[in-house]
Amino acid sequence: MIKKSALITGGSGFIGMHLISKLQENGYIVDIFDRKNGQDIKNINDLKKVVQNNYDVIYHLAGLSGSKESNEKKISYFQINTLATINLMELIVNYAPNSKLILSSSRLEYGKPQYNPVDENHKTEPTSAYGLSKLIATQMAQVFGSAKNLNYIAFRTSNVYGPHKEEKFFGYNLINYYIDQAKKGKTLLIFGNGNQLRDYIYIDDLVQAFLMAAESKMKQKIYNLGFGEGTTLKNMTKLIIKTVNKGNIKFVTWPIDYHKIETGSYVSNISKIKKELGFKPKISFKEGIQKTLDFEI
């Protein structure tokens, strides 16, 4: 049997680490394009060398995250999240037209929800340079799809969490950070009253959707990817502390730079991905927190 091949840009990160394992379990030969290997996503020659290998699927995870940080470093975010992604698409249509591109994007493309749960028809009005950098990349995928038949699927993911290596906190991936802090018995800070809803998806569910996208006949699609249920920030932190049996909560006033970009409550409407990909998340938030604590990396 001929094995399928996959390229993962940004493969050394949290999602990439889990995705590699899942793909290998399913018989894929996996290559990684990552700055830790001395490769630069902004270098079109570096990209061209790997794209020409004609992978069955290319997962594009490389990029900068963090809404507040993006407003402070706008040029870098657009260079990496937008322009480098456009270059990748151009290379695929020119040198590997049979490769399927899976874009890992964000629910922050939507901005502040006008209604919940948010479906894919919701208007897109990002509140940060990060959200806009991801939105333009997704829109350019649509342009390449229409003009040059780029085979892509873009995921607007909600908050993902799960087993991870402890790293310095950069202002995003809050759940994993809270878990690490609680394990040390530290105080978990919540801005405001903590009543805003978030949709949390366990990493195993997310990578399952990524695999299904690669093997599906669906193309030129945008999907919300989440659990499809909302949990308040306050209840999320309480559950972490209860499960870890350490830590405490402190409510603090919103810092002005964070408050300006806060999107309020968000819950994913995942009806479309359920219908078209057959995806259904399996791991509840309570179970996911326990699995994260039980797993040793």
pLDDT in tens, 205-263: 999 999 999 999 999 999 999 999 999 999 999 999 999 999 999 999 988 888 888 88
Q: How high is the mean pLDDT of the chain?
A: 94
Please check whether residue 163 is in contact with residue 295, taking contact to mean a CB–CB distance below 8 angstroms: yes
Strand partners, 102: 59, 153
User: What's the CA gap between 273 and 225, in Å, rounded?
Assistant: 7
pLDDT > 90? residue 143: yes
Q: What are phi and psi of 233, to 5 degrees?
A: -60, -40
The gap from C-alpha 223 to its chain's centroid, in whole angstroms, comes to 12
For residues 127 and 34, give the distance between their C-alpha atoms in angstroms, rounded to a whole number: 28
For the ranges 5-14, 29-38, 168-177, 242-251, the lowest mean pLDDT is seen at 168-177
Give residue 259's pLDDT.
Answer: 80
pLDDT exceeds 90 at position 73? yes
| 186 contacts 225 by C-beta, under 8 angstroms | no
CA distance 165 to 18: 11
163 pLDDT above the threshold of 60: yes
Whether cis (ω within 30° of 0) applies to the bond prior to 255 is no
Tens-digit pLDDT profile for residues 90-126: 999 999 999 999 999 999 999 999 999 999 999 999 9
Tell me the per-residue pLDDT of 190-206, one tens digit each, with 9 for 90 and over. 999 999 999 999 999 99
Give the chain's domains with CATH numbers: 5-161+201-228+268-283 (3.40.50.720)
What pLDDT score does 25 carry? Answer: 96
Average pLDDT over residues 32-58: 96
Q: Euclidean distance between the first and final Cα of the chain, in Å?
A: 32
According to the model, what pLDDT value does residue 2 have? 72
Instruction: Give the confidence band of 296 by pLDDT, cuts at 50, 70, 90.
Output: low
For position 165, what pLDDT does the model report? 85
CA 20/CA 186 separation, integer angstroms: 32
SS3 assignment, position 146: helix
> 185 and 247 in contact (C-beta within 8 Å)?
yes
Instruction: Return the percentage of the chain with pLDDT > 70, whole number.
Output: 97
Question: Which residue in 55, 110, 130, 161 is the catalytic one?
Answer: 130
pLDDT value of position 205: 98
Catalytic, 172? Answer: no
List alpha helices for 44-187, DSSP H: 44-51, 67-72, 74-77, 84-95, 129-148, 174-183
